[in-house]
Amino acid sequence: MPGSHTSGAYPPLVSAEASGDEVFGHAEAEGFEQVVFGHDSATGLRAVVAVHSTVLGPAIGGTRFRPYEREAAAVTDVCRLARGMTFKHAVAGLDAGGGKAVILGEPATLRSDQLMRAYARVIDGLGGRYLTAEDVGTNQADMDLIGSVTPYVTGRSVSLGGSGDPSPATAWGVRCAFDAVAKRLWGAADLAGRHVVVSGVGKVGSALVDHLIDAGCRVTVADVAGAAVLAVRRRHPAVEVVDPADAHAVACDVFSPCAMGAVLSGATIAQLRCAAVCGSANNQLQTPADGARLADHGVLYAPDYVVNAGGVINIAEERRRSGATYDRDRAWAQVAEISTTLQRVLARADADGTTPAEAADRLVEERLAAANRVTAVRSVTT
Active site residue 100: yes
Q: Among the options 88, 100, 183, 203, which is catalytic?
A: 100
HEC string of the chain equals: CCCCCCCCCCCCCCCCCCCHHHHHHHHHHCCCCEEEEEEECCCCEEEEEEEEECCCCCEEEEEEEECCCCHHHHHHHHHHHHHHHHHHHHHCCCCCEEEEEEEECCHHHHCCHHHHHHHHHHHHCCCCCEEEEECCCCCHHHHHHHHCCCCCECCCCHHHCCCCCCHHHHHHHHHHHHHHHHHHHHCCCCCCCCEEEEECCCHHHHHHHHHHHHCCCEEEEECCCHHHHHHHHHHCCCCEECCHHHHHHCCCCEEEECCCCCCECHHHHCCCCCCEECCCCCCCECCCHHHHHHHHCCCEECCHHHHCCHHHHHHHHHHCCCCCCCCHHHHHHHHCCHHHHHHHHHHHHHHHCCCHHHHHHHHHHHHHHHHHHHHHHHHHHC
Residues 353, 356, 361, 366, Cα dihedral to 10°: 50
Question: Is residue 56 within 8 Å of residue 128, measured between CB atoms?
Answer: no
Tell me, what amino acid is at 254?
V
Strand 300-301 vs strand 276-277: parallel, antiparallel, or unpaired? parallel
CA-based torsion, 313, 314, 318, 323: positive or negative? positive
Catalytic residues: 100
